[in-house]
Copies of this chain bind each other. A is one copy, B any other.
């Protein structure tokens, strides 16, 4: 069977997956958790093979850390599955119930999206998390993990699929593909695949977005800002250092700080000192450079449309919250942006006018994450403007259908005035 035939079969199976009872989905999640523990030695062995191959290629420490699947990661996966299983069923919730007229009742009911293709980085625990989210939300999923985790992913997927099938969910609800040519083929199957969720580098996500007619949910850039409106060192320093250094490669790490002119002379010197002490290189516009030493040439305009993803931060002096908002809406990526302020009016203005998936006051941008939002896990973070924004958990993997029960009603009677609608929400 060709890949496109397999995916078409998945599409035909998807309404049965959508109709799966919550108890069956939860049984499948428990079965996966059990099977992972039972077969852990086999999975760890596969992971050692991936790690050995990675070492041969001399990959960096961060990648090795993400690639490792050990007792610690296994425990986190098992806990994650248990948490998912404890969450209420996201499918079948009635979000509107309206009588249109006597004997004509409309309901809007949440339902899965259908067939979702998820492409993710070489992090084996992501395979377990994403499969779990798709199962709990009643979606069929095509999973493609990063090449470096190939052996681990194969072992994990086999374990997951067997457990799912034994728990009586449709066998064809999950499919793993392992090379780029297969993903290119999946991207062409716009009749059978309802959504693509790509995770990875900017260039990779952009490539996906430009090469498919299937809707794509995710983000290419994560250009997050912190606007500093207060000279309160105790508030500013720890938050900015956390947002930049806690995990600089993450999409929710801060890239640009905007500092109010009025307080720049007071807050910039201790802030830059703290950033340098944490190993961060500070760049800035000419005005910043006049206050503190900066690295590299003076920044301006389009220079700020840049995601460093590293221990580098850009700084710009702005007049006030309005100029900060304009900068963020112009050069940002609608991901997550924060204001640090003691002024409620400035915060209110920032909350109202910043056009981003996450708008924060007085905390680190790094909180933009499905686990930290209490979603159990996330399948990705969306900077798009439709469907779901920010961290996407179970709710973002559902949509709805309208179900209507009538008793013989025809439109002609309402069009010619014989009958009238009598709307009443029930």
Contacts and interface: CB of A to CB of B under 8 A. Distances in A.
A409 B353 CA distance: 23
A389 interface: yes
Oligomeric state, in copies? 2
A181 interface: no
B406 A113 contact: no
Interface stretch (A42-50, A53-61, A283-291, A395-403): A395-403
A82 to B, nearest CB: 16
A372 B235 contact: no
Interface string A266-286: 000000000000000000000
A113 B402 contact: no
A330 B11 CA distance: 9
Given A19-B352, A19-B353, A352-B19, A421 B238 contact: no
Nearest to A216: B215
Contacts of A390: 401-402
Contact of A361 (B16, B352, B356, B405): B405
A140 to B, nearest CB: 11
A24 interface: no
A326 B9 CA distance: 12
B104 A363 contact: yes
Nearest to A382: B399
B374 A404 contact: no
Interface residues on A, range: 35 or more
Contact of A113 (B367, B386, B415): B386
Contacts of A372: 100, 411, 414, 421
Contact of A238 (B363, B389, B410): B410
A238 B403 CA distance: 21
A209 interface: yes
A246 B415 CA distance: 9
A410 B374 contact: no
Interface in A337-367: 347, 351-364, 366-367
A379 interface: no
Given A356-B401, A361-B405, A386-B386, 13 more contacts: A12-B329, A104-B363, A114-B355, A194-B386, A215-B384, A242-B410, A242-B411, A358-B403, A363-B408, A364-B410, A386-B387, A389-B399, A390-B402
Interface of A: 12, 14-16, 18-19, 98, 100, 104, 106, 113-114, 194-195, 209-210, 213, 215, 217, 234-235, 238-239, 241-243, 246-247, 325-326, 329-330, 347, 351-364, 366-368, 372-374, 384-390, 399-412, 414-415, 421, 423
